[in-house]
Amino acid sequence: MLEHAATLILEAWKSFDRARPNQPPPAAHHLEMLNTPLPAEGCEPVVALDAAADVLDVSLAQSRPRFFAYIGSSGLEIGVLGDALMASHDVNVATSAGAADMLEAQTIRWVGAFTGFDPEAQGLTAAGGTVSNLTALTAARERALPGTRRTGVGGRRMALYCSAEAHYSVRRAAEVLGVGADNVRAIPIDEQRRIRVDECARAIAADRRAGVVPVAVVATSGTTLTGAVDDIDGLADVCAEHEVWLHVDGAYGLPAAATERAGKLFEGLDRADSATVDAHKWLYVPKSCSVLLVHDAVALERAFSHREGYMLHGDEQLNPVDRTLEYSRPLSALKLWLAFRVHGARAIRAAIERNLEQAALLASLLRDDERFELLGEPQLSVVCFRRRHGGDIDAHHAALASALAADGRIAIAPAEVDSGTWLRACFVNHRTTEEDVRAVPDVVGEISDALLSATA
């Protein structure tokens, strides 16, 4: 069975090495199989594994080199093997797990060193960026209002501050933490789509005067919509002046801090109180592996530690669960640890550099093609663009996105930017080649022409 599973995995990996002609939809036999009731009896394991592989083959796999639609993982092979090994041992890093704790701590330090946050960083791995952000902001709330975790928010008013284009996980955190989504200050952005530092400072000062407690400022390092990187250094100045927690949501973009091409965009990162990096995005490992970085884990322990009779603290040492809201937690750090061990920081950095170059190449191709217009020059690896024509441009791009999905040669998503519909391509795949990049304007132009001809 293990050999058969390895054969299926190898076939999948080989299929990811080149672009697929199209994305096949589920066939009638898939629909029939996936609508059967609970089986009373089992079947041969080979039959079940083959069925699973068949279903996955007609599912949308982000590992394919022309998947540009969302910021997803590209399933680094050593990470897949690491997941299998990790699941086999089934270590739980909620309580003290011996060497596994040391491996996770080492991985956190490596990420801190790789990004420039702190080579002695502490923290944890989490299920995703939303959980990492929530964890950091819980610690920020406890620092802003000590004891809130026990006494509750009561009538105290709080606020969070972020870019108008920050990820919705910030609002989610505000809802969960009792801050309230209405108290997330969506600060206006500048011409580079970055948070306006001066407006953020004014909002904090105004809230202080009104008796509202500022909990944290969230700097986005690579917005999901356009890849913009907020001015971390400027926000660090504001937070230092007002004594407010600074969290960097770098779930997507923070690995680019390690590159020569984009590193300067992240100046001041080491001044942040915490930062989120999703290794299952731009560090290429399979989902899920989010990393929360802090300089001092004591802030997390103040927000999460508990004393329970079923969870002993030997020699007064805290368990990993005392730093996070998650209890049962797999050793997801293992796949990232293996990625750094097997490939090394230099190769991973070079792959990120290639993705940055691919975004710049696409922008150049679109800029030189009179059929298209760019939203702006990419700061990282997100490129927003659309087809020029004289009709209803938003309706055309909504139809174009659907037609591209049906065509299946490339996966690209629509995005609403400044109340208009654009196409958005993102490069975070180590398998993507220059040929794949050049296919974007060719395929988009072809499908767009067909739609325009049909409505002429």
Calpha distance 383→33 (Å, rounded): 39
* Confidence band for 60, pLDDT divided at 50, 70 and 90: confident
Query: Residues 6 or more apart from 27 whose CB is under 8 A from it?
Result: 58
Residue 316: pLDDT band with limits 50, 70, 90: low
Tell me the Ramachandran region of residue 358: left when phi exceeds 0, alpha when psi lies from -120 to 50, beta otherwise: alpha
- Return phi, psi of residue 302, to 5°: -65, -30
pLDDT in tens, 62-102: 899 999 998 988 999 999 999 999 999 999 998 888 899 99
Per cent of the chain over pLDDT 90 is 86
Contacts (Cβ under 8 Å, ≥6 apart) of 5:
49
Q: What is the average pLDDT value for the chain, to the nearest integer?
A: 94
Please report the pLDDT score of residue 372 as a whole number: 96
Whether 161 has a pLDDT exceeding 70, the answer reads yes
pLDDT in tens, 317-328: 678 888 898 988
The answer on pLDDT for 292 being more than 90 is yes
pLDDT of residue 21: 87
Predicted pLDDT at 313: 65
Helices marked H in 40-98 — which ranges? Answer: 45-57, 77-89
Work out the number of other CB atoms within 10 angstroms of the CB of residue 398.
Answer: 14
Domains of the chain, with CATH numbers? 81-339 (3.40.640.10)
Confidence of residue 248 (pLDDT cuts 50, 70, 90): very high
Question: If you average pLDDT over residues 261-280, what whole number do you get?
Answer: 98
Tell me the pTM. Answer: 0.95
